[in-house]
C-alpha cells in the first residue's frame, strides 16, 4: 500500500473525533515512530500503525470507542486492499 493513502485513510476515520489536523498529525507521528516513510508499506506495518493509534485513542475516547475506531481503520485498510 502507499504510505500517503494509508495516512489519508486513517485521517478520514479519525477526523470526526480528533479534527482533521490532529488526525493527520497523529497518523504521521505514529508512522514516524514505526519508521514508516513515504512509499510502500506492508499490510502488517499498516496494522501496526492502527495499533499505535488505538493505544493513543484510549486516553481520549475510552476503550470501547477506540476499539470501534480501530475496526473502522482496519476496514479502511481493507478497502485499500491491505488488510493483514
C-beta of residue 33 within 8 angstroms of C-beta of residue 52: yes
Confidence check: pLDDT of 71 > 60: yes
Q: How many residues does the chain have?
A: 84
Q: What is the mean pLDDT of residues 65-76?
A: 96
Q: What is the mean pLDDT of residues 58-73?
A: 95
What gap in Å lies between CA 42 and CA 12, rounded to an integer?
20
What gap in Å lies between CA 17 and CA 4, rounded to an integer?
20
| Share of residues in the chain with pLDDT > 70 (%) | 96
Confidence check: pLDDT of 69 > 70: yes
| Share of residues in the chain with pLDDT > 90 (%) | 85
Amino acid at each position: 500500500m502507499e504510505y500517503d493513502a494509508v495516512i489519508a485513510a486513517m485521517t478520514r476515520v479519525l477526523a470526526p473525533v480528533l479534527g482533521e489536523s490532529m488526525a493527520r498529525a497523529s497518523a504521521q507521528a505514529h508512522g514516524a515512530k514505526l519508521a514508516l516513510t513515504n512509499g510502500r508499506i506492508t499490510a502488517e506495518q499498516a496494522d501496526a500503525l492502527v495499533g499505535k493509534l488505538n493505544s493513543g485513542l484510549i486516553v481520549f475516547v475510552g476503550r470501547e470507542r477506540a476499539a470501534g475506531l480501530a475496526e473502522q481503520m482496519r476496514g479502511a485498510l481493507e478497502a485499500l486492499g491491505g488488510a493483514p
